[in-house]
Amino acid sequence: MMSRLAAALIFAPSLASAAEIELPTRIDRVTVYPDGAVVTRLGKAELLQGASQVVLRGLPAAVDPAWIRVEGKGDGAFAIGAVDVRPVPGDARQGLDAVIEAKLKALREQKETLDGQVSAIEAKRGTIERFGQTGPDKLGPDGKALPISDWPAVFDAIGTALVKVNDELRIARSRVSDTQAEIEALERTRPQAGRGNAPKRDVAIAVEAKTPLAAEFTVSYRVTSANWLPSYEARLATDSATAKPEITFIRRAELRQRTGEDWTDVALILSTTRSAGGTRAPELAPMQVAFLDAAVLYESRARLAPAPMAAARAKAEAELEAAKSRRMADSPSPAEIQTAQVETSTYQASFIVPGRVTVPQGATSKAVVLSQGQVSPTLSARATPELEEKAYLEAVFLHEDEAPLLPGEVMLHRDGAYIGRGRLGLVAPGDKVELGFGADDKLKVSRAPVRRRENEPTWLGQTRTDLREFRTVVKSLHAQPVKVTVMERVPFSENSSITVETLSQTTPPTEKQVGDKRGVSAWTFDLAPGAEKEIKLAYRLKWPGDREVTFESRPIQPAAMPRPLAQN
């Protein structure tokens, strides 16, 4: 009767001389995290009566010895004791061939010599060219002009010298190119370090059985040289007749692993948990404030806006079924896209990739589709005329899946045309997703300065002023109403000696401050077909006349970036 391991047994030192039993295994499943992976192997062995060691050979050197877990079951009772991880050095013959390496060294030295010759010839040509630019009117004795009868000889000498030096330079560069090609060809013939000869780790599992029996083992270990990066695709389809836009949103995962072993025909799970990240919030040290005797410097402060965490959760199945029903009855049926099964818990989400997957080790990557659905976004246009006199189409929708969207690139398409690449930050379930879909050529945006007036102080202590006024016009060429947001900014000051005053002719903004961006305001309005909207912005700066002011843009806090693949 099959029985699972219930207790562990601590063996005596004499176990080192116990019989060794080879444990052949295969990789059955892999759980990949954004910063590592857990590999699970399955194997069978025939255990002897008494104490023995089951040895699993040839694990990658990148295995974390502290993260090896062993479980077992068999057709009789047995116990598992200590698990010993043994480093196995690589083959000493793994080094490069000495003859090839010597030749490479000689070729590199030859190339350095040739590079020096090229530099010398280029310097010689430069001298000749500068000599030719001097002119015969200054080449005579004491910097005087040469006789005109000697000028043809000078021209011929310069021309002959240039022809000769250019020929020398061509030959030298050709020799450099040939030597570089020979070096590259020789480097490609270098003996490559085989994975079988690389350093490995063996795992020796101490076991004890009362009688001979057949046992099955599950060995799990963590490696860092593997990860997955999220990528997304958003395809916007607009329908001007019904004004019901729709986005097909696809979530993909790009896998890479350089663990030293291939994952062949394995069950693959992708987890959003960062297994190598911090496990607790950082500690804050006490901070004391005191007077500084030295001169005080103003220091910018980075401001982070906390991302809202919404609790709403829902499915997108209704939208997906509605999209399927709109297919033409006489059109061929497209292939079904296999997507991963999502399992969520309170603090993480996992994607179970359907079927069995092969991920070879190396620089190549493998992409799998995690989810695909359709959402109904809200469309609007956004313009920042101070920087660019264009309006850009934006789509906003709620992320209603149970799994969060990790930071990554998103490929953007609009009505079948590829628009470009964007970026997504971390989006929790229930949060808004904002995507840009390129310039809206049917919105004409213009911005022009209306007035600027400065005063120059004529006596000590006079206040300086700088008045600026701008006019922005947005005109719609659309056949349907559109929602437009215009962004403008007014300088702000943290110094009481510099005052900023928004003048009365300014069009009242819809939003006086956008998020945490001080001085940045927004005007949002609906624009009818053929209509135009005018926005005025006017402000005045005042500061002491004996001082100068400078304008400095504060950096915008970037979205979180995915961590790169760990290296061996």
Q: For 290-307, how does the pLDDT look when each residue is reduced to its tens digit (9 = 90+)?
A: 544 434 433 433 333 333
The reported pLDDT for the residue numbered 52 is 92
**For residues 472 and 481, what is the distance between their CA atoms, to the nearest angstrom?**
19
- What is the dotted CATH code of the domain comprising 98-188? 1.10.287
Which residues neighbour 374 within 8 Å (Cβ) at sequence distance 6 or greater? 246, 247, 248, 249, 316, 319, 320, 322, 323
Q: Counting beta carbons within 10 angstroms of the beta carbon of residue 72, is it exposed (0 to 12), middle (13 to 18) or buried (19 or more)? A: buried
The reported pLDDT for the residue numbered 172 is 87
Give me the residue label for tokens 């911090």.
278
**For residues 398 and 430, what is the distance between their CA atoms, to the nearest angstrom?**
6
**Helix H or strand E segment including 378:** strand 378-383
Looking at per-residue confidence, does 550 or 319 come out higher? 550
Phi, psi of 186 (to 5 degrees): -70, -35
HEC per residue, 380-395:
EEEECCCCCCCEEEEE
**Percent of the chain's residues with pLDDT above 70:** 72
Q: Do 405 and 430 form a contact (C-beta atoms < 8 A)?
A: no
**Percent of the chain's residues with pLDDT above 90:** 32
pLDDT tens for 55-92 read 999 888 878 888 899 999 999 899 999 898 888 876 54
CB count in 10 Å sphere of residue 21: 16
pLDDT tens for 140-196 read 666 566 677 776 777 777 778 888 888 888 888 888 888 888 888 777 665 554 444
Of 179, 184, 163, 159, nearest to 117 (Cα)? 179
Of 565, 568, 438, nearest to 32 (Cα)? 565
pLDDT band at 102 (very low <50, low <70, confident <90, very high): confident
Q: Which of 4-18, 114-128, 496-510 has the lowest mean pLDDT?
A: 4-18
How far does Cα 555 stand from its chain's mean position?
A: 19
Apex 510 CA angle, 505 and 516, nearest 5: 110
The reported pLDDT for the residue numbered 319 is 47
Phi, psi of 69 (to 5 degrees): -120, 135
Give the domain ranges of the chain: 3-92+198-223, 98-188, 443-544
Apex 168 CA angle, 166 and 169, nearest 5: 65
**For residues 4 and 79, what is the distance between their CA atoms, to the nearest angstrom?**
10
Q: Do 535 and 472 form a contact (C-beta atoms < 8 A)?
A: yes
Q: Are strands 263-271 and 357-359 parallel, antiparallel or unpaired?
A: antiparallel
The reported pLDDT for the residue numbered 241 is 54
Q: How far is the CA of 439 from the CAs of 326, 360, 436, 446, 535, in angstroms?
A: 29, 41, 9, 14, 20
The packing angle between helices 98-134 and 151-188, to 10°, is 160
The mean of the pLDDT values for the chain is 78
Q: Which of 13-22, 112-121, 346-355 has the lowest mean pLDDT?
A: 13-22
The reported pLDDT for the residue numbered 7 is 35
pLDDT tens for 415-461 read 989 989 888 888 888 899 999 999 999 999 999 999 888 777 666 66
Residue 476 has pLDDT above 50, yes or no: yes
Q: Do 418 and 389 form a contact (C-beta atoms < 8 A)?
A: no
Helix (H, G, I), strand (E, B) or coil at 34: coil
pLDDT band at 215 (very low <50, low <70, confident <90, very high): very high
Q: Are strands 19-22 and 50-60 parallel, antiparallel or unpaired?
A: parallel
Residue 314 has pLDDT above 60, yes or no: no
